[in-house]
Amino acid sequence: MGAYKYIQELYRKKQSDVMRFLLRVRVWQYRQLAAVHRASRPTRPDKARRLGYKAKQGFVIYRVRIRRGGRKRPAPKGQVYGKPKSVGINQLKNQRSLQAIAEERVGRKCQGLRVMNSYWVGQDSSYKFFEVICVDPFHTAIRHDPDVQWLCKPVMKHREMRGLTSATKKSRGLGKGHGYSKTIGGSRHACWKRRNMQEMHRKR
């Protein structure tokens, strides 16, 4: 086995004494830093490389701290002026995962970079920590690399906001087979539109 395979096997045993100690120390260190900060190198090089990272110019790693827990409805005084079905405030869950929110925050912070992917690096009772792989689309090393230059296209701006990264895609309900009938035709909106619009032939 190569070195990356050993690291991968280590991370599969998160309850082992070594990993529990390592993660506890790391999470303590991350808590002292800013909520969104640049990391000098990936904490998990094996995972980063599997998600497309290369140790070359133009690639950047940002580490993000996201507060854990559900999503409380932002209603002043806890008062929803509506019907009883929308009266809930506290036991609501967010539609998007915390990882998707982490990618979004990095995308907002680093407007000029493109978000490629992200992965989990640690958590405690209050926070989850993710590292986000970003790419500079104007760097010549990126623009000349056939494996990565697809990110330089204008349509790849803010993929994380539009549900195109791996983490953000999971909340869109895309898939095949039973249980995915609501998104046949590309998306929920496309599926709804197709079923609710009357199409007429021009000559009829």
Question: pLDDT tens across 38-79, in order?
Answer: 999 999 999 999 999 999 999 999 999 999 999 999 999 999
Looking at the DSSP assignment, which residues form a beta bridge with residue 61? 39, 133
Enumerate residue ranges in the chain where pLDDT < 50: none
Residue 126 has a pLDDT of 97
* Nearest C-alpha neighbor of 117 from the set 59, 40, 70, 67: 59
Tokens for 19, please give them: 């990993």
Q: What's the DSSP call for residue 111?
A: T
Residue 25 has a pLDDT of 97
* SS3 call for 107: helix
Sign of the CA dihedral with 14 first, then 15, 21, and 25 last: positive
Residue 1 has a pLDDT of 75
Q: For strand 127-135 and strand 114-123, is the pairing parallel, antiparallel, or unpaired? A: antiparallel
Locus of tokens 């995972």: 47
Round the CA-based radius of gyration of the chain to a whole number and report it. Answer: 21
* SS3 call for 186: coil
Answer for the pair 31, 96: CB distance below 8 angstroms, yes or no: no
Answer for the pair 40, 48: CB distance below 8 angstroms, yes or no: no
Residue 108 has a pLDDT of 97
Give, for 36, the enclosing helix (H) or strand (E).
strand 36-39
d(CA 102, CA 168): 10
Residue 204 has a pLDDT of 74
Answer for the pair 68, 135: CB distance below 8 angstroms, yes or no: no
Residue 190 has a pLDDT of 94
